[in-house]
Structure 1
Amino acid sequence: MRWSKSMNENALRAYFRAKGEETGCLAYRARMHRFFAELEPSLSVTEQNLAERVRYILRSNIFGDAELERLRREAIPSSNGIATAGNAAPLDAQQTAYVDAAVNIPFVANSDDDGIVSYELEKMRSILEESKLETRSMPLENRPRLPRIPLSKRNRAVVRALNPMLVTYLEASRDLCETDSILFGAALAVCRIIGAKLPVAGRATQKSSAIPAWRKRIEDRVAKARALIGRLTSFRSDNNRPRIMRTVRMAFAWTNISLFQPDITQKLTERIDDLKQKIAAWGKRIRRFSERSRRFNQNRLFQSDQKRLYKSLERPEVCGAPMDPVTITPEDVAEAVRRAPNWKSPGLDGLHHYWLKGFVVCHAVLARQFQEALDQKSLPSLFTTGSLIWFLKIRIPQTRANTAPSRVYPPYIRH
């Protein structure tokens, strides 16, 4: 179905009227569909198709700000008086302060001198909803890296404008992971609204694995050997399924052993024992290399931070006294967030402390969900797992200008 200009205008009129009477997240769709059916009785569209069309109209800038304001006034005549009474400044094509008829929140005006045209609240709400839906089922490693945005008045105004929009989403949040996804979607929406540059690819770069390559290779060999032992044992127990037969034939391929010779049971036993010896040898190799790596790391830690080394060697003392009950309040969350640096390196979720400071409506929800996690003694791994990044520090060679004596390292630890 091809949408004409009049159909697009009626879709926006139904949207503004439904938003003016219902401020819920998705509850306005039924009302918008009913209003659109009154304006266009000959058309048959679903609620989803109508909502997608309205979202496309708002994002593609088919209508200008003046036309959108005219359609809003036609849909909600009472918003005309509210919008003109609250603004003392004259209307301008590029710098205008609108008023949302639903929740009476002013639009973000462009107070900076960079000439960037401000977004109105309807577009901001649409971008927020799309960003939230985009990040709902996205893995953490595929999330885009959020940039550091300037601490300008305009950017703070955008964050303040999105604050009341998050209330509906946060009230429906079930756990900490969902709350984190909502906050990340809101931060992504802010970056898109202000025009911040986002990387095309996700945050999943070439990270070094915690398991060394040599150990992975050996563990793969051990896994294949154990799987082969299981197939050979099944064949020795008269299991003649096609998959088992095919694996046994491949195991004895390049040999003069036939699966139907009289001493096949003895040959199977010898092959199983040989594989078990290989697995034992590979396990000793892993333990030997792991012990060497542990000694190497301890020696290097002894050079850089002896206190940390000795603390790691101490055995932790188990305290038998029970912990006093802890009550987490929204003020505790706000105080902890206030003392945290804005742009410190984020965790696995990629969310900086700046966004937790800006979206103040999340403090009560976080306090409640952290209290539930503390009572249930179950915290998601998202909040307990971090990433370690190594930085290479180049040592400055001693020259004539630098006559300071070189650092003398203590001896290595002997094991």
Structure 2
Amino acid sequence: MLVTYLEASRDLCDTDSILFDAALAVCRIIGAKLSTAGRATGQSSAIPAWRIRIEERIAKARALIGRLICFRSGNTRPRIVRTVRMAFAGTNVSLSQPDIMQKLTERIDDLKQRIAAWGKRIRRYTERSTRFNQNRLFQSDQKRLYKSLERPIVSGTGPAPNQADMVAFWRSLWSEPVNHNEGPWTEFVANQCASIMPMDPVIITLDDVAEAVRRAPNWKRIFT
């Protein structure tokens, strides 16, 4: 089949495409993993390279913690032992010393602290990126920003509350007189604030609101 396609190729580009398609088909049949390094994908990854490296470190550290815990639990398979020796490479720790369990616990705690620090670094970057994008969107398109901040409306599946019960509940909180004994400190604060002149009452009329929103966009006037 490949010979038929190669004979029908018109130039070097067709031959290259045919050979690449044949190699790709063989890799998929035998289940080999393909590497996309060096080939243009047409889309650039939105995740920065440093974040990818940190996530890979976190994944490796979690795998190492799992194997250290297995060894501490009594699993002495050669692969587990080899991983534990690699974890203590460059140190004076030996697997035959009596305090190896304590060293394992210290190593596991150290890896957990590193994972927490790496996770906080990614979280700080995500929060900063979110703030930066929101500030830039606020300057360019406020309507789009406010729409993105809206939470989805969750409709309740249970029965609606009884109106009489709701009125009775809030009336018991706001309408019933209650005497509170706050102690002597309230009198002390009241004496200190007795010389403070109260602020003049501010009355906002409809004309004031209309003047404030006169130059605002139409979508803001709807919410007002």
Compute the displacement of 1:208 (Å): 2.5
Q: Distance in 2 between matches of 1:203 and 1:266?
A: 50
Structure 1 residue 204 and structure 2 residue 41: aligned?
A: yes
> Which of 101, 114, 119 matches 1:265?
101
Taking only aligned residues, the RMSD between alpha carbons, in angstroms, comes to: 3.4
The structure-2 alpha-carbon separation of the partners of 1:227 and 1:317, relative to structure 1 and needing over 3 Å to count, comes to same
> Which of 49, 52, 56 matches 1:213?
49
Compute the displacement of 1:268 (Å): 0.3
Q: Which amino acid aligns with 1:234?
A: C
Counterpart position of 2:134: 298
Counterpart position of 2:124: 288
Q: Which amino acid aligns with 1:211?
A: I
Q: Which runs of 5+ in 2 are unaligned?
A: 11-17, 26-37, 157-224
> SS of 2:75's equivalent?
coil
Equivalences for residues 15-414 of structure 1 within 5 A: 52=4, 204-205=41-42, 207-318=43-154
Compute the displacement of 1:317 (Å): 2.6
State the Cα deviation string for residues 57-76 of structure 1 (Å, max 9, x = none): x777xxxxxxxxxxxxxxxx
Q: Which amino acid aligns with 1:289?
A: Y
Q: Distance in 2 between matches of 1:203 and 1:274?
A: 40
State the Cα deviation string for residues 267-317 of structure 1 (Å, max 9, x = none): 101111111111112112211111011000111111222211111011123
Equivalent pairs: percent with the same residue? Answer: 72
From the CA coordinates, give the structure whose radius of gyration is larger: 2
State the Cα deviation string for residues 136-164 of structure 1 (Å, max 9, x = none): x88xxxxxxxxxxxxxxxxxxxxxxxxxx
Q: Distance in 1 between matches of 2:78 and 2:85?
A: 11
Q: Distance in 2 between matches of 1:270 and 1:219?
A: 22
TM-score normalized by the length of structure 2: 0.52
Compute the displacement of 1:230 (Å): 0.8
The number of aligned residues is: 136
The structure-2 alpha-carbon separation of the partners of 1:261 and 1:229, relative to structure 1 and needing over 3 Å to count, comes to same
Runs of 4+ aligned structure 1 residues displaced above 4 Å come to none
Q: Distance in 1 between matches of 2:52 and 2:9?
A: 48
Q: Which amino acid aligns with 1:270?
A: E
The structure-2 alpha-carbon separation of the partners of 1:224 and 1:202, relative to structure 1 and needing over 3 Å to count, comes to closer
Higher relative contact order, chain-length normalized (CA < 8 Å, sep 6+): 1
